[in-house]
Amino acid sequence: MSLEQQPVKEHRRTRQRAAVDEVLEETEDFISAQDLHAILRSRGMSVGLATVYRTLQTLADNGDVDVLHTAGGEAAYRRCAREGHHHHLVCRSCKATVEVAGPAVERWTSSVAKEHGYTDVAHTLEIFGTCPRCAQG
């Protein structure tokens, strides 16, 4: 067995990371690296695109933000309120997100996996739909 410690990669406090953090903090919905970078630029904050990518990647690795892969194949990030494992109900058009927990689903996935002898199990689950606001207004 290999006991893996959490990879605390974020050691140093830099203005770039603070900037990314700030945007994440005030952004309610999932946002892509590119979009976050655009926001920073529009605010006159100069942060390299690569740095934005790296920072988000690290935050995701450390579990500080959730990652979602959109239909278009791009990664979107979000700092969620809920702490433990959970999933998302996301509006296809405006990205409005609801955090949802489904203990039954978690149990089901592990039982299915175990049933077939699969180990080291993980799963991805996202629910997409049209939110009430976008549905009609």
Residues 109 to 128 in contact with DNA, rule: CB under 7 A:
none
107 HSE (CA, 13 A, CB side): 3
Residue type, 11: H
Integer Cα distance of 86 and 64 in angstroms: 13
Nearest distance from residue 136's CB to DNA, in Å?
28
Residue 14 near DNA by CB under 7 A: yes
Residue 27 near DNA by CB under 7 A: no
Q: Are 122 and 113 in contact (CB under 8 A)?
A: no
Sites of contact with its own copies (CB under 8 A):
69, 73, 89, 91-92, 98, 100, 102, 104-105, 108-109, 112-113, 116-132, 135
Residue selected from 26, 42, 71, 72 as contacting DNA according to rule CB under 7 A: 72
91 is in an annotated binding site: yes
The residue among 136, 4, 128, 9 whose CA lies nearest residue 70 is: 128
Q: Which stretch binds Zn ion (CB under 5 A): 13-21, 57-65, 96-104, 120-128?
A: 96-104
86 is in an annotated binding site: no
**Cα angle 22-41-133, degrees, rounded to a multiple of 5:** 65
Residue selected from 38, 45, 75, 80 as contacting Zn ion according to rule CB under 5 A: 80
Integer Cα distance of 28 and 25 in angstroms: 8
80 is in an annotated binding site: no
Residue 73 near DNA by CB under 7 A: yes
